[in-house]
Chains A and B, each alone.
Chain A
């Protein structure tokens, strides 16, 4: 158990719908990163939030958006869902945004999104 929680565990949506995924970071962590992991692939970086500001973004379209709240929990919103958005969505919390050092990321259990 990493102390990072995500909800919901599983979700089924249809093409064109919108979805919100939630993540509660580990106590003391101020940085949350979101990843998309397709079956049999490594995680793909979506974006990162540090102290409520987005401070890095991967190669994902604007219909992927996010928020971080004062308690450092976070949301991932995806609009206009496409079939290819079906994947495991992982959030990971850590202790720093852009500094170096160890800064291991602790992952939540993920949300399995299926788009029909």
Chain B
């Protein structure tokens, strides 16, 4: 079966750095996405990785290791507005997105 694992919840302090991990086992791999979802809202795109390595985009970075089936999302200089769920999704061999359950990130002052 296909499986994507993320921690259920994480807590961090405003101004700090947090790393959200994602491990996956899927039927094929055609890219990994990270989305942010605020409560009651639709997911919004954060990053895309298809090759190994780090992709940096402002305060957010995403890393991929295909051999390990592993990715992380790194958020720097945390702000209160970063409190949200972060969803990891893998595009499988059928080009369909398989989603993790999401990591709820709580930012404290």
Chain A interface (Cβ < 8 Å from any Cβ of B): 2, 33, 35, 40-45, 48, 56, 58, 90, 97-100, 102, 104-110
Contact = CB atoms under 8 A, between A and B. Distances in A.
A105 B46 CA distance: 11
B95 A56 contact: yes
Interface in B32-90: 33, 41-45, 48, 87, 89
B41 A105 contact: no
Contact of B101 (A40, A105, A108, A109): A40
Interface residues of B, number: 21
Given A42-B102, A102-B48, A33 B97 contact: yes
B30 A100 contact: yes
Contact of A42 (B31, B44, B95, B99): B99
A108 to B, nearest CB: 6
